[in-house]
Amino acid sequence: MSRQQYRKEFKCILEKTFLPEGISNEERNELLLPLSKHLFEHIPSRLFRYRECSEMNLDAFNGDKLFAVTSDKFNDPYDCLFRYDKERLRNSIMMGISKDYVYALRDHFQRGGDFPDMLKSVFDDEFLKNAKQSIGNANDDMIELYSENIANIKEPLNKLIDRQTEEAVNTVKRLTFIACFSEEIHSVTMWSHYADSHKGFVLEYSTNSFQLKCQICDQLKQCNKAAVCNFYPVIYQQQRYDATDFLAWYIARSLGLPIKNPDTFAASKPLLYKSSQWSYEKEWRLIVSKFNEFQNKTPFCIDHLRPQAIYYGTRISPINRKMLHLIAKEKGIREYQMYIDDRSYNYSVKFCKFSED
C-alpha cells in the first residue's frame, strides 16, 4: 500500500471511530481496535524531526528530550482549524427547545411514549426523568408561556452560541500538545522551512522507542506527570474538518445541559487535518494528552527519548556541527552529513556517513 493510500484509509477509519462518553476501557479499546491495527501495520519504523541549531534544541538533544507545543503556536494559522455550519448549529439548538417540539414531546409522553433513543444516549437518566415529568404534565398555557420566554432569549442565545463557538475553537487548539515528524529526510523544502535553510539538523527516531506506559497505568488520572501519547499520520485535503456536531455538544454542555459527549475523540480529530498544500511534509504527529497541573503549560517536555541518528545540514556552521558531534559521539548514535550532488539531475538532498576527517 502506498503512503497516499494508507492515509486515505486512515481517514476513512478515523471518521468512523466514535468514542461515546461513559464507556468502559474495554469498550473503548474495542472501538479503537480498527484504528490501532491500521496504525500498527503502517507506521514507519523511523521518523525524522527537523531542528534549528537553537540553544533549546541543542539542550533537548543532549538531554534526550522532545518538546511538544499546542497548535496555536504553529506557523500555519489554518493548521488544526476546523470548520462548522453556523446555521445548522443554531437551527439544531433552536429546534431542540422550540414550542412545536415541546408540544410533540408532551403528546408523545401522554400516549405512553418515551424519549427517543438518541436523546437517551446523550442525556443522563435523572435529567430525562425530571424533563419527562415536567413536559408530560404541562398544559397549553404553560407551553405558550414557555414559547414566549424562548422568543425573548433567542437573540442572547445566538450571541452565546457565537461566543461559545469561538471558545471551542480556541480550546481545541490548546487542548493537546503536538510534536511533528516527517517520513522524509531528502526533502529540500523541509530542510529549508524547518532546519533554518539547511543550517540546522535532523534527528531520526525509531517509532518503537515511544513507550506508552501511562496508557496502561491505573494511576493515569491521579498522576501529575501522566501523559498519553499516540502517533497519527496527518490527513491532507482541500476541505477543513467539519466539527459542527462537536460544537453542538460543546455549546449544549456550556448551557448547563447534562448531555453526554457522543465522541470524546472529536476534539483530537481536527488536529490531524491539514491543507493539501502541505502534503510534501509527509507528516506524522505525536499527540500528547496531559492531565492535572501540566495541562496549560507549553511547551511540554517528553523525557527519555533518544534518537538513533543525526543528520547535519549542508550549510550547518562548523561550530554547531562540532557541538552536535560531541553529543552524538557520547550517545553512540549514527551521524550523517547532508550534501548536494552536483552531478545529479534531481533536487533531492543526499547524505553520507559523517567523518571528522
The DSSP line for 209-245 is G---GGGG-TTTTT-TT-EEEEEEEPEEESSPPB-HH
pLDDT at 290: 62
| Cell numbers describing residue 347 | 533536487
* CA dihedral sign, ordered 299, 187, 201, 55: negative
The C-alpha atoms of residue 256 and residue 243 are separated, in whole angstroms, by 20
Which candidate, 44, 98, 66, 14, places its Cα nearest to that of 180? Answer: 66
- Beta-strand pair 334-339/350-353: antiparallel
The C-alpha atoms of residue 82 and residue 240 are separated, in whole angstroms, by 6
pLDDT at 294: 46
| Cell numbers describing residue 270 | 481536527
**DSSP character for 63?**
T
pLDDT at 293: 45
Stretches in the chain below the pLDDT threshold 50 = 215-216, 292-294
The C-alpha atoms of residue 96 and residue 62 are separated, in whole angstroms, by 57
pLDDT at 292: 47
The C-alpha atoms of residue 54 and residue 136 are separated, in whole angstroms, by 67
pLDDT at 122: 61
Which residue type does 94 have?
M
